[in-house]
């Protein structure tokens, strides 16, 4: 199984450990993982700011990098969703369509494609799972609290396979953290208040770590935790699933 690793730009630049964990985890699980080295960004920062018309350069670069693989796997629900919903190329639409079908967020890839039900991982901590909105309501990797429908959660299902890990309950299971791309600076006051309230929910329930399938949310929450000099840390879900002490 030929898998291309799609590493979001900010993960590449600021959180390489999450990308390394994703790579190692996929290799451990038997995938032949390639990292197309000329990849940059999915184009979401521009598109969500209203500049989708400026993303054609990113789109063609993405197609150049990610054509010809069985699957494209990304440790971010948000970037995956952007590709799934917005990757187009007027001169290469067939390939764009193919890529949109083959791109997967990491936890949905592990559950739906690799069908992982055992995992050799240990993480003896109390962990709060932050449901990132794009993975949740866009990719539907977990059930959404608004709907009248059976509960499930792909990231929680995987985390429950990890030895020693205890998932803490939250008062608000899937309230947004307030990152929201450029929202976090344009609407700084509301964004940071939303982040603070999310962090408080995890801390009140005894979390030692906050994890998520999206590092953008975690970067925001980490910024708040560190400003508060909190002992609580953020960690990408791949780093937990790849952790074997």
Partner 1 sequence: MSSTATKDHAELAAIFNRDEPRVDWHDETLWWVRAKRDIAAQKLPEWELLRETASQIKNNVLSNLSSYLEQFEANAIKNGAIVHWAANAEEHNQIIHKLLSERGINRMVKSKSMLTEECHLNEFLAQRGVDVIDSDLGERIVQLAGEPPSHIVLPCIHKKKEEIGDIFHEHLGSAKGESDPKILTETARQHLREVFLTRRAALTGVNFAIAETGEFVICTNEGNADMGAHLAEIHIASMGMEKIIPERKHLGVFLRLLTRSATGQPITTYSSHFAKPQDGKEVHIVIVDNGRSIQLGREDFRNSLKCIRCGACMNTCPVYRKSGGHSYHTAVAGPIGSILAPNLDMKKYADLPFASTLCGSCSNVCPVKIDIHDQLYKWRQVIVQAGYTPTAKTIAMKGMAFTLASPALYRAAGKMGRLTFKYAPFAVNNGANPWYKHREMPKAPEQSFGEWYAKRKEQKK
Q: Is the Cβ of residue 185 or residue 245 nearer to partner 1 in the bound state?
A: 185
**Rounded CA gap, 104 and 18, in Å?**
16
Number of residues that bind partner 1 (CB under 8 A): 77
Query: Of 61, 66, 23, whose CA–CA distance to 40 is shortest?
Result: 61
Q: Looking at 17-25, 107-115, 160-168, 206-214, which segment touches partner 1 (CB under 8 A)?
A: 17-25
Token couple for 160: 């429950």
Q: Is the Cβ of residue 14 or residue 70 nearer to partner 1 in the bound state?
A: 14
**Rounded CA gap, 135 and 120, in Å?**
25
Query: Of 232, 216, 173, 238, whose CA–CA distance to 24 is shortest?
Result: 238
Which positions from 175 through 234 interact with partner 1, judged by CB under 8 A? 175-176, 178-197, 219-220, 222-224, 226-227
Which positions from 113 through 172 interact with partner 1, judged by CB under 8 A? 133-134, 136-138, 144-149, 172
Cβ-contact 99, 63 below 8 angstroms: yes
> What is the closest distance, in whole angstroms, from the C-beta atom of residue 202 to partner 1 in the complex?
16
> What is the closest distance, in whole angstroms, from the C-beta atom of residue 92 to partner 1 in the complex?
15
Q: Is the Cβ of residue 5 or residue 165 nearer to partner 1 in the bound state?
A: 5
Which positions from 50 through 89 interact with partner 1, judged by CB under 8 A? 50-55, 57-58, 60-61
Query: Of 241, 19, 25, 4, whose CA–CA distance to 123 is shortest?
Result: 241
DSSP 8-state symbol, 126: E
**Rounded CA gap, 60 and 147, in Å?**
37
Which positions from 23 through 52 interact with partner 1, judged by CB under 8 A? 23, 35, 37-41, 43, 45-52
**Rounded CA gap, 50 and 164, in Å?**
44
Q: Is the Cβ of residue 215 or residue 240 nearer to partner 1 in the bound state?
A: 215
> What is the closest distance, in whole angstroms, from the C-beta atom of residue 214 to partner 1 in the complex?
12
């Amino acid at each position: 199984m030929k898998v291309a690793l799609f590493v979001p730009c900010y993960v590449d630049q600021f959180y390489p450990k999450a990308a390394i964990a994703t790579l190692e985890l996929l290799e451990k699980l038997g995938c032949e993982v390639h990292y197309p080295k000329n990849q940059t960004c999915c184009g979401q920062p521009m598109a969500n700011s209203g500049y989708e018309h400026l993303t054609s350069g990113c789109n063609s670069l993405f197609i150049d990098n990610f054509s010809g693989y069985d699957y494209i796997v990304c440790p971010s629900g948000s970037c995956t969703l952007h590709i799934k919903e917005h990757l187009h190329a007027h001169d290469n639409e067939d390939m764009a369509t193919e890529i949109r079908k083959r791109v997967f967020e990491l936890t949905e890839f592990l559950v739906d494609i690799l069908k992982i039900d055992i995992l050799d991982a240990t993480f003896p901590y109390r962990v709060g799972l932050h449901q990132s909105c794009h993975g949740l309501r866009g990719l539907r990797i977990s059930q959404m609290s608004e709907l009248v429908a059976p509960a499930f959660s792909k990231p929680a299902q995987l985390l429950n396979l990890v030895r020693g890990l205890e998932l803490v309950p939250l008062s608000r299971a899937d309230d947004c953290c307030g990152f929201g791309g450029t929202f976090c600076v344009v609407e700084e006051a509301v964004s940071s208040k939303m982040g603070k309230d999310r962090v408080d929910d995890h801390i009140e329930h005894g979390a030692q770590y906050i994890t998520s399938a999206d590092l953008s949310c975690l970067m925001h929450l980490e910024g708040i935790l560190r400003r508060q000099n909190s002992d609580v840390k953020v960690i990408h879900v791949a780093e937990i699933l790849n952790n074997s002490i």
